[in-house]
């Protein structure tokens, strides 16, 4: 195994182990060794997260493993991003996601955002207590493929409908897929 | 009942860990009013957070009433909260129902709220009624409609969970119309008002303002956060208990700073993330176990306690829902519970089910029976009776002592369960879930609720029309 292969394997392992500290150190080391940033992402970090996804799928891994793996990958990507300006990364699509106005619950939304990120989507997280108008504004501004609208309270799920209605009114509904989530929707 | 999970020393350790949380990281709130109440009474600002001091904690906890009474309208019921009687309360806010005819899950409707409340009114061991969540009512006046519908369909005490203070004036108007006057309502409250801050330790604007409104209205408050072990609480049962207790104590202390001596319950709702699906589990054993630990903590601080308990992960009335509900509720009852909530629920408290409510009535009957204090008396020891029967070569069946104690309820008679001979049972071979469904239908059809007067009914119509005008413009 070449030195380059060795470090990329270690980096993938760090992601599989959900070890963000090692992921940072190894990403930096790979950069210093002159490995191409896109190669570090594709053959190190992404390779690792794919294994994490596989483990989750076959029942060996659980949600905390998934989140820690995604966090380790993210910490490596963050170092690499400035070096990637101008190059184009493959993306499965763009997602704008947030929790509706009057609702501060974010765990479910965060899990979905993480899963989408690790599946190659670009995710713009608007946070919690987001006004309906802001969702619509972001649809106009970013032109995402999908918007994800989260609500946990039985008193706030009406906002999901409201946002969809505004999208229809403004003629934007056909430009974007809408994904809703949260307990009361089950 | 003398039953504990943590030793006295361990309870003290957990309690003190909760106080350390209150002093070290405290709470965050977006309500200026709530913030000022805490700061004016000695809490400190620490960056964005508000931390508690020993003095504020002492001041807030010493005035909490250890007992209070909760009433049914028309003086129909008196519940002694604080005496650890394990009163059974229905599950609040379920957006779905299991249809009584088809057995399928569907949206909750106003008709369900009416019929389910009437069913709960008919079931002897269901003591407090919370509204299910009808989806065919405008969101702007949902609590107003729910409160009126509850009052029209039961004379039992109510629990009305509020997520903001917006509809509080209408709720008070409805309750006052029934009680006769504002003063009468304060003297004999007919509803508790739970509020639910966010975990971890976040008193958002709405729950904080709702807490103030409930206390100012003079109605018993419930402080009911809902942390989830492993996501919004730490991945140890004790750690979640530490945080959960701190969250509740913060609200309890605030209630006493607003109005010393106001009634409040320690309403724990610790849940648990399923690490595969991300679902919030209300399942056994953790829910009952955590609920029991939380009850011990409430008792340590001398606060009446009201955990959720008649719940589980099962999606239907089956053996799983039966054992889950009994495990959780009985464990909490044995440790000492004033109220045990979530009755009639399925699917981690997301669905209400008529048949399950009938089964929970059965479980509540046996839980309440189990925790009843044993009285050791000469008559109950029955030494003389044993000697007499043996000496006379008689039997116990024909003794008056037998009739007396049987009539007094010494042998539990299940409201629902089957105890016939095999042969009699084999005629229909009816399973308990089918019998529960049949019983629910019969009770809904036949049960009469103590009616409200024409005058009060008209007053209700007026209040709802007014709320509609103001809130839906």
* CB spacing of B198 vs A184 below 8 angstroms: no
Provide the pLDDT confidence category of residue B428 given band limits of 50, 70 and 90.
Answer: very high
Name the region of B442 (left: φ>0; alpha: ψ -120 to 50; beta: rest).
alpha
Instruction: Residue B133: list chain A partners with CB under 8 A.
Output: 154
Beta strands in chain A (DSSP E): 93-99, 121-125, 146-150, 177-181
Residue A9 CB: number of other CB atoms within 10 A?
16
Is pLDDT at A154 greater than 80 in this prediction?
no
Is pLDDT at A88 greater than 70 in this prediction?
no
Is pLDDT at B133 greater than 90 in this prediction?
yes
Residue B416 CB: number of other CB atoms within 10 A?
15
The verdict on pTM exceeding 0.90 is yes
DSSP A15: H
Is pLDDT at B392 greater than 70 in this prediction?
yes
Is pLDDT at A113 greater than 90 in this prediction?
no
Identify the closest residue of chain A to B200 by CA–CA distance. A105
* CB spacing of B163 vs A155 below 8 angstroms: yes
| Complex ipTM | 0.81
SS3 B341: strand
Instruction: Residue A158: list chain B partners with CB under 8 A.
Output: 139
Contacts of A15 (CB under 8 A, 6+ apart): A23, A44, A45, A47, A48, A49, A51, A52, A69, A72, A73, A76
The verdict on A127 touching B (C-beta cutoff 8 Å) is: no
Identify the closest residue of chain B to A107 by CA–CA distance. B231
The CA-based angle A18-A24-A25, given to 5 degrees, is 115
Is pLDDT at A110 greater than 90 in this prediction?
no
B142-151 pLDDT per residue, tens: 999 999 999 9
Name the region of B84 (left: φ>0; alpha: ψ -120 to 50; beta: rest).
left
The verdict on B273 touching A (C-beta cutoff 8 Å) is: yes
Q: pLDDT value at position B464?
A: 98
Residue A145 CB: number of other CB atoms within 10 A?
16
* CB spacing of B96 vs A183 below 8 angstroms: no
What is the pairing mode between strands B105-107 and B96-98?
Answer: antiparallel
CA distance B173 to chain A (A): 22
Q: pLDDT value at position B353?
A: 98
Provide the pLDDT confidence category of residue B2 given band limits of 50, 70 and 90.
Answer: confident
Over the range B157-188, which residues count as b (16 or more CB within 10 Å of their CB) and which as e?
bbbbbbbbbbbbbbbbbbbbbbbeeeeebeeb
Please, where are the H alpha helices in B154-204?
A: 168-179, 182-187
The rounded mean pLDDT for chain B is 96
Q: How far apart are CA B224 and CA B349, in angstroms?
A: 15
Which whole number is the average pLDDT over A138-143?
A: 94
In percent, the amount of chain B with pLDDT more than 90 equals: 96
For chain B, the structural domain boundaries read 68-370, 378-407
Q: pLDDT value at position A152?
A: 85
Is pLDDT at B351 greater than 90 in this prediction?
yes
The verdict on B230 touching A (C-beta cutoff 8 Å) is: yes
CATH architecture of B68-370: Alpha-Beta Barrel (3.20)
Residue B283 CB: number of other CB atoms within 10 A?
21
Q: pLDDT value at position A103?
A: 86
CA distance B98 to chain A (A): 14
Q: pLDDT value at position A59?
A: 92
A-interface mutation test, from B94, B135, B139, most A Cβ less than 10 A away: B139
Q: How far apart are CA B95 and CA B106, in angstroms?
A: 9
Q: pLDDT value at position A182?
A: 83
Which of A115-129, B104-118, B391-405 is predicted least confidently? Answer: A115-129
* CB spacing of B275 vs A64 below 8 angstroms: yes
Q: pLDDT value at position B217?
A: 92
Provide the pLDDT confidence category of residue B120 given band limits of 50, 70 and 90.
Answer: very high
SS3 B136: coil
Q: pLDDT value at position A91?
A: 81
The verdict on B133 touching A (C-beta cutoff 8 Å) is: yes
In percent, the amount of chain A with pLDDT more than 70 equals: 96
Tokens of B250: 């913060």
Please give the backbone phi and psi of residue B81, each rounded to the nearest 5 degrees, phi first.
-80, 130
Instruction: Residue B350: list chain A partners with CB under 8 A.
Output: 183-184, 186
Contacts of A46 (CB under 8 A, 6+ apart): A73
Q: pLDDT value at position A186?
A: 57
B20-44 pLDDT per residue, tens: 999 999 999 999 999 999 999 999 9
């Amino acid at each position: 195994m070449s030195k380059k292969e060795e470090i990329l394997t270690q980096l993938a392992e760090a992601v599989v182990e959900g070890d963000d500290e090692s992921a940072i150190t190894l990403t930096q080391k790979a950069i210093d060794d002159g490995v191409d940033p896109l190669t570090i992402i594709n053959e190190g970090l992404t390779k690792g997260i794919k294994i994490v996804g596989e483990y989750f799928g076959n029942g060996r891994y659980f949600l905390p493993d998934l989140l820690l793996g995604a966090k380790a990958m993210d910490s490596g990507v963050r170092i690499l991003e400035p070096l990637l300006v101008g190059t184009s990364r493959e993306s499965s699509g763009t997602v704008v996601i947030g929790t509706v106005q009057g609702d501060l619950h974010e765990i479910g939304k965060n899990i979905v955002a993480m899963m989408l990120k690790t599946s190659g989507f670009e995710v713009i997280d608007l946070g919690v207590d987001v006004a309906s108008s802001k969702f619509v504004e972001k649809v106009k501004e970013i032109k995402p493929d999908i918007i994800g609208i989260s609500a946990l309270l039985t008193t706030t799920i009406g906002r999901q409908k409201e946002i969809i209605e505004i999208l229809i009114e403004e003629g934007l509904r056909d430009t974007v897929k809408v994904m809703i989530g949260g307990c009361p929707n089950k | 009942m003398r039953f504990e999970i943590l030793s006295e020393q361990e309870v003290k350790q957990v309690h003190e860990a909760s106080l350390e949380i209150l002093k070290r990281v405290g709470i965050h709130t977006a309500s200026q009013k709530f913030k000022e109440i805490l700061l004016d009474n000695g809490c400190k600002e620490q960056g964005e957070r508000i931390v508690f001091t020993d003095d504020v904690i002492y001041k807030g906890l010493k005035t909490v009433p250890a007992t209070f009474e909760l009433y049914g309208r028309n003086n129909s019921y008196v519940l002694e909260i604080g005496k650890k009687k394990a009163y059974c309360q229905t599950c609040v806010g379920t957006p779905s129902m299991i249809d009584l005819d088809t057995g399928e899950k569907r949206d909750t409707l106003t008709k369900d709220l009416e019929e389910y409340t009437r069913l709960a009114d008919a079931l002897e061991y269901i003591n407090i009624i919370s509204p299910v969540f009808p989806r065919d009512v405008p969101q702007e006046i949902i609590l107003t409609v729910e409160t009126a519908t509850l009052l029209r369909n039961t004379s039992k005490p109510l629990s009305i969970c509020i997520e903001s203070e917006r509809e509080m004036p209408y709720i008070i108007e409805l309750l006052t119309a029934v009680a006769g006057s504002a003063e009468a309502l304060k003297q004999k409250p007919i509803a508790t008002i739970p509020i639910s801050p966010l975990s971890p330790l976040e008193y958002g604007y709405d729950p904080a303002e709702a807490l103030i409104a409930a206390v100012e209205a003079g109605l018993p408050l419930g402080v009911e956060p809902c942390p989830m072990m492993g996501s919004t609480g730490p991945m140890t049962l004790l750690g979640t208990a530490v945080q959960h207790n701190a969250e509740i104590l913060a609200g309890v202390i605030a209630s006493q700073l607003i109005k010393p001596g106001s009634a409040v319950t320690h309403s724990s709702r610790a849940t648990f993330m399923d690490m595969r699906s991300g679902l919030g589990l209300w399942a056994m054993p953790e829910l009952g176990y955590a609920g029991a630990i939380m009850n011990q903590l409430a008792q340590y601080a001398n606060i009446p306690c009201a955990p959720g308990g008649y719940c589980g992960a099962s999606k239907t009335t089956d053996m799983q829902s039966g054992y889950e509900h009994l495990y959780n509720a009985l464990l909490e009852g044995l440790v000492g519970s004033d109220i045990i909530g979530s009755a009639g629920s399925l699917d981690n408290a997301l669905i209400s089910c008529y048949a399950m409510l009938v089964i929970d009535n059965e479980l509540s009957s046996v839980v309440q029976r189990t925790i009843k204090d044993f009285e050791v008396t000469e008559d109950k020891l029955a030494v003389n009776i044993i000697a007499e029967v043996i000496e006379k070569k008689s039997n116990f069946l024909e003794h008056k002592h037998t009739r007396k104690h049987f009539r007094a309820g010494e042998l539990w008679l299940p409201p629902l369960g089957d105890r016939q001979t095999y042969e009699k049972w084999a005629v229909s071979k009816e399973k308990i879930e089918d019998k529960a469904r049949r019983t629910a239908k019969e009770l809904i059809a036949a049960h009469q609720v103590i009616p409200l007067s024409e005058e009060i009914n008209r007053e209700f119509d007026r209040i709802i029309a007014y709320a509609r005008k103001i809130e839906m413009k």
